[in-house]
Each structure stands twice: as C-alpha cells, then as structure tokens.
Amino acid sequence: MAASGTLAVPAAEPVRPRTVLVGTVLAAAASFVGIMALLGMYVAHRSAALSAGKTWLPDKATIPLTPSNMAFGTMLLSGLAIWWAVDAVRRDDRRTAYLALGLTLLFGLAVINATVFIIKVSLIPVNTVPGVYFYGVVGAHLVMMIVGLLYVLSQTIRTLAGDSGPGNVEGLTSAAIFWTAAVAALGVIWIAVYIAK
C-alpha cells in the first residue's frame, strides 16, 4: 500500500499468472486424495480384521520389505533430483539440469520396476479382501507415478528444446510438485502397507 500522500499506482499485469502451477497443484491434490482414500479403506479393513482376532494377509502371502525399502529410498532420491533440476534451470546451469532430469526419470522407472516386482512376489490372492485393497492402493500409485513420469518427461523435452530457462521454470516446477506428491504418497504407503502390512 502506498504511503499517504504518494500516488497509488496499480500493480502491473502479471506476465505469467502461474496458471500451470496452480492447475497442477489442484490436480496433484486430487490425485493424492484418491490414493489416501484407498489407503484409508485398506487400513480400516485391516484394523477391523485384526480387532476381530483374524489375520490380515492370507497364508503364503507376503509383502517383502527389502524391495519396498529400496523403492521408497529410490523415490526419495528422485524427489531430490527433480528439485535439483529446477534449481539448475533457474541458475541456467543446463548441463546439471539435464543430469538431474535424467536421474529423476531413471529413479522413477526403477521405482515402477520395484513396484511391479512387489506385486508379482506378494502372492496375495485378488479374490480376498486384502488382495482387492492391496492391488487397489499399489495400482493407483503406479498410475500416479506413470502420469508423473510422463509429465517430467514432457518438461525434460521442453528443457532440452530450450523452452525452460531462468525466467521460466513454471512448467518444470509444476512437474516437480506433482512428482513430490507422488513421493509423499509412496511415503505414506510405505509406512501403512509395506512396513505395517
């Protein structure tokens, strides 16, 4: 607000109104809510089964901890790498940006690979209550990761084409926000499903 006695000049029209950023935040929030809803139902049914004195996972079924630890650790690294890329683009350090984006994509693909492995070795029958909810939670997060990776890939291509730069990191920041939501979702799944089983 201008001080008394000075001319109050209206603010200049914003050149870029952060439309993509805000839209991505809304979409990421909706995706996160969907996955948390699935997780909430998984936890509620597990809690009900355990309260009734039953076991949750069927015989011979297991959720291996080692690959899930590796998946979450790799996901954390990819979450750091994408923000490293955003910082590099902001500093116009293109070589570092390409390296960071490449690492993000590589780590992301590794997590998808690990998740598919977990699904294959878990041996939870799909026609059981734990099976339906387990595949629902893990499958939904798999879809979120694939969408996030495609978003990161599109922004990587734009960065390679020179579209992103110090004055324009909105697209890449938006992809980073969506990917961070995917990392956070996996963090909650890691604790509630993979560790607590």
Partner 1 sequence: MAVIDTPSETVAAAPEETTAPRPTPAGIAGALGSGDHKVIGRFYIGTALIFTALGLALGALFGVERVAPDTLSIFGAETVFQFWVLERLGLVFLVALPLMVGVGMAVVPLQVGSRAIAFPRAAAASYWGWLFGSLLFVASFAINGGPGGGSQTGVTLWIASLGLIIVSVLLAAVCIATTVLTLRQTGMTTNDVPMFSWSMLVASVLWLLTLPVAIAQLALVYIDYRLGGGNTIGANAEMFGNFTWLIENPQAYVVAIPVLGFAVDVLATTAGVRIAPRSAAAGAIGAFGVFSFGAFLAGSSAHDHKAWIVVALGLAAVLPVLAILGLVGDLFRRGSFRINAGALYAIGALLILLLTVLAGALASIPALETYGTVIQLAVSKGAVLAAVTAALGGIHWWATKLGRNAALETAGRLTPVLFLAGAVLVIAPEVASGLLGKDGTNEVVPSWAGGLPALNAAVAVGFVLALVGLLVAVATHKPLGSRELSRDSDPWDGQTLEWLAPSPPPLDNFVEPLPVVTSGEPLIDLREEK
Q: Which residues bind partner 1 (CB under 8 A)?
A: 10-13, 15-19, 22-23, 26-27, 29-31, 33-35, 37-38, 41, 44, 126-129, 131-133, 135-136, 139-140
* Residue partners of 140: CB distance under 8 A and separation at least 6: 34, 35, 38
Q: How far apart are CA 158 and CA 112, in angstroms?
A: 23
- Residue 50 Cβ vs partner 1, minimum distance, rounded to whole Å: 17
CB of residue 182 vs partner 1: minimum separation in angstroms? 14
Instruction: Copy the structure tokens of residue 151.
Output: 């978003």
User: Alpha-carbon distance 197 to 191, whole Å?
Assistant: 8
CB of 20 to partner 1, least distance (A): 8
Backbone angles phi, psi at 165, to 5 degrees: -160, -175
Dist. CA 150–CA 179, nearest whole Å: 10
Question: Which is closer to partner 1, CB of 124 or CB of 176?
Answer: 124
Identify which of residues 133 and 151 has a Cβ nearer to partner 1 in the complex: 133
Do 177 and 24 touch, CB atoms closer than 8 A?
A: yes
Pick the closer one to partner 1 by CB: 27 or 105.
Answer: 27
User: Whole-number minimum distance, CB 78 to partner 1, in Å?
Assistant: 23
Cβ proximity to partner 1, 26 vs 191, nearer residue: 26
CB of 13 to partner 1, least distance (A): 5
Rounded to whole angstroms, how far apart are CA atoms 105 and 62? 29
Of the pair 109, 142, the CB lying nearest partner 1 is at 142
